[in-house]
Amino acid sequence: MFKGKTLLIIGGTGSLGKTLTRRILSEEHDAPAKLIVLSRDEAKQHQMRIEYENLPASTDEVIYNNFKRLLEFRIGDVRDYHTVASVLQDVDIVFNTAALKQVPTCEYFPYEAVRTNVTGPENIIRAVQELSLNVQTVIGISTDKACKPVNVMGMTKAIQERVIIQGNMLTPRTRFACVRYGNVLASRGSVIPLFHEQIKSGGPITVTTEEMTRFFLGLDQAVDVIFAALREAKPGEIYIPKVPSARIMDLAEVLIGSRNIDIKITGIRPGEKIHEILVSEEESFLTQDRGEYYAIAPILPELRDNIPIERVLNKEYSSRQATMSQDELKQLLQSYGLLVGQQSETNRQELLR
């Protein structure tokens, strides 16, 4: 899938980007000719470089001779067209993981969310089109919050999906597709690391509302969705994993276990949804079954000409449906080593890298 290709991960120093990098450079697939990580944070890039220097399989490849090595780091921002145009030269596959993703932050700074989540993808498409670049595939990373959005983060991600879908009309030589999924377990800024810290501090655990539910998948599962879309998605499709969901109250109680820690209900945060939706009722008419995934055909009819559609959902796909029991949730957390006290701090940090 990657042999001889040049890959670019935009926003590659985040939780997802680092896991994607690890998977690409593992023996799971043929090695690419080059993997470029573009991000704004030089400190995170430095730390990521040091981590790979300490891995025996990568020591010979990842050194400070940056531009001549397999793993190359570039400082830059997806918001800046000139940076994007420069880094896309000779790139075959693009993964855009750059995002403003914290719901309250996007509510307080909505235009900043627009610049990263909408202008960023538009810069990619514009550069491919205007410079006639030979990029083969662009995969955009979206979120369940983009489905029937009620917050700025979801609204900008919904527009990102439309921008990427429409990119197929502008540059038909390049395939543009998206993946959409829910909360990634233990990713930076997500609920599980927050609950861990609150438990470590003696509580209370803060839950916004007792009814709240969320989809859950691991970082490696998130990468699996990306790889599935890269292998199988047709231009303009949105790939969605079939994943479990749970009540946040159950999550808090499972993590607390037998500890004497209180749960405090704080009220819904700005822009927060009670339940998440991965496929809306309207999108169900365009949704197809792809085994472990659903694929939503593009909304633009010109891109659906060669996609046979047999409706497989008769309602929305929501986190409120078929939530896990506490026992099932506990087993899921155990499988990822995410129960408090289950493993050493060193191992937990390795999991969260």
| Active site residues per annotation | 145
Q: Are strands 175-181 and 137-143 parallel, antiparallel or unpaired?
A: parallel
Which residues neighbour 346 within 8 Å (Cβ) at sequence distance 6 or greater? none
Quote the radius of gyration of the chain (alpha carbons, Å). 20
Burial degree of 127 (CB within 10 A; 0-12, 13-18, 19+): buried
Please state, in angstroms and rounded to a whole number, the distance separating the CA atoms of residues 63 and 75: 16
- In angstroms, the Cα distances linking 320 to 119, 215, 276, 293, 294 are 32, 9, 8, 19, 18
Please state, in angstroms and rounded to a whole number, the distance separating the CA atoms of residues 301 and 350: 45
Specify the DSSP element, H or E, that contains 48: helix 42-53
Contact 276, 352 (CB under 8 A): no
Sign of the four-CA dihedral 36, 39, 42, 46? negative
Backbone angles phi, psi at 316, to 5 degrees: -65, 155
Nearest to 270 by CA among 208, 319, 212: 208
